[in-house]
Amino acid sequence: MERCNDCKQLGRKVKRVTLEKLLRPAHRPAIGDGSYHVCVTPACDTVYFNGERTFGKSDLAVRFGLKETTAPRLVCYCFDHTIEAIHGEIARTAQSTVLASIKADMNGPGCRCSQTNPLGACCLSTVEQVVKQGLRQHGMRTADAGTQSDCCATDD
């Protein structure tokens, strides 16, 4: 793991296809041959980085929900689930069906996290964290919030 050029937090390695799909077309030629990491620090403008190059939020063709402060903040890019919708469902029903919904949808066409999610990886663990956060905010238990399986185990 490498540290973000700006906030110095550790980043996770991300596939090249993620940058190729999510950067604005004008920035794609600058990707080069090196490997990249993603920064998930909310207050940091950097999204992708390596020792030579940095791409920020404004370089993306999509909004990075985990780095945004205003709605809509997507956390599942394949099926358009937002933090606000997840927390809203919890406020209305005292539960969330989003994990079951994603799992049901992921077997059909449309699950392509490495090409749609700025994290470059399956969204299930992120969505599970959002569900748990929403449950805690409403004073509910989080033990049964979901699972950490990988919806894109075969996603290249």
Question: Percentage of the chain with pLDDT > 70?
Answer: 90
Q: Out of 18-22, 84-88, 135-139, pick the least confident.
A: 135-139
Q: Is the pLDDT of residue 146 over 50?
A: no
Q: Is the pLDDT of residue 32 over 60?
A: yes
What domains appear along the chain, each with residue ranges and CATH number? 12-59 (2.20.25.270), 70-137 (no CATH)
Long-range contacts made by residues 51-59, C-beta under 8 angstroms, separation at least 24? 51/2, 54/5, 54/6, 55/19, 55/23, 55/27, 55/30, 59/23, 59/24, 59/27
Instruction: Taking residues 12-25, report their average pLDDT.
Output: 97
